[in-house]
């Protein structure tokens, strides 16, 4: 009988499955959800976003996250006209782990929006803005 180094198809499938499972677990460990409670947005009233007050809300989110001992790396603001949605993703780090905190709100109108952002919203239906942390 001749010995071969070939694995059975079942063994290969099992190894592939375990590799995919481990990769998924490592990704979820690397970017964990940081559960910070954000009660209200001062910039939103009756589904209307006041763009002038948005920066203060984002600073409040950063402050809340920092109070729990995390370093804030920055935030990503998404305004989606088609979905009537505002979403703020804030990225943070504690020790060697990275986290993302996502808050969202229904927004049907926007006031005090800068002209360049308004133009992008009109042409693309969606605006994404990356914001760095002051810290």
Distance CA 120, CA 131 (A): 17
In our burial notation (b when 16+ CB lie closer than 10 A, e otherwise), range 65-87 reads beeeebebbbbebbbbeeeeebb
Residue 83 tokens read as 């979905």
What mean pLDDT is reported for the chain?
Answer: 80
Q: Which band of pLDDT confidence, cut at 50, 70 and 90, is reported for residue 4? A: very low
Rounded Cα gap, residues 85 and 104, in angstroms: 7
In this prediction, residue 29 has a pLDDT band, given cuts at 50, 70 and 90, of very low
Name the residue among 48, 54, 67, 66 with its Cα closest to residue 103.
54
Helix (H, G, I), strand (E, B) or coil at 51: helix
In this predicted structure, what is the pLDDT of residue 77?
94
What gap in Å lies between CA 47 and CA 64, rounded to an integer? 23
pLDDT score at 7: 55
Q: What is the mean pLDDT of residues 76-85?
A: 93
Task: Enter the pTM of the model.
Answer: 0.69
Q: What is the mean pLDDT of residues 23-43?
A: 57
- In this predicted structure, the answer to whether residue 127 has a pLDDT above a threshold of 90 is yes
So what's the pLDDT on residue 10?
Answer: 66
């Amino acid at each position: 009988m001749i010995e071969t180094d070939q694995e059975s198809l079942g063994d290969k499938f099992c190894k592939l499955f375990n590799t995919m499972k481990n990769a998924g677990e490592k990704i979820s460990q690397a970017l964990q959800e940081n559960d910070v409670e954000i009660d209200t947005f001062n910039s939103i009233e009756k589904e209307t976003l006041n763009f002038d007050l948005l920066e203060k809300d984002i600073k409040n989110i950063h402050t809340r996250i920092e109070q729990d001992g995390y370093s804030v790396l920055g935030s990503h603001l998404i305004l989606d006209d088609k979905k009537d949605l505002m979403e703020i993703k804030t990225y943070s780090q504690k020790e060697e782990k990275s986290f993302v905190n996502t808050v969202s709100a229904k927004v049907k109108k926007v006031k005090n929006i800068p002209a360049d952002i308004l133009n992008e919203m009109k042409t693309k239906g969606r605006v994404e803005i990356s914001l760095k942390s002051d810290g």
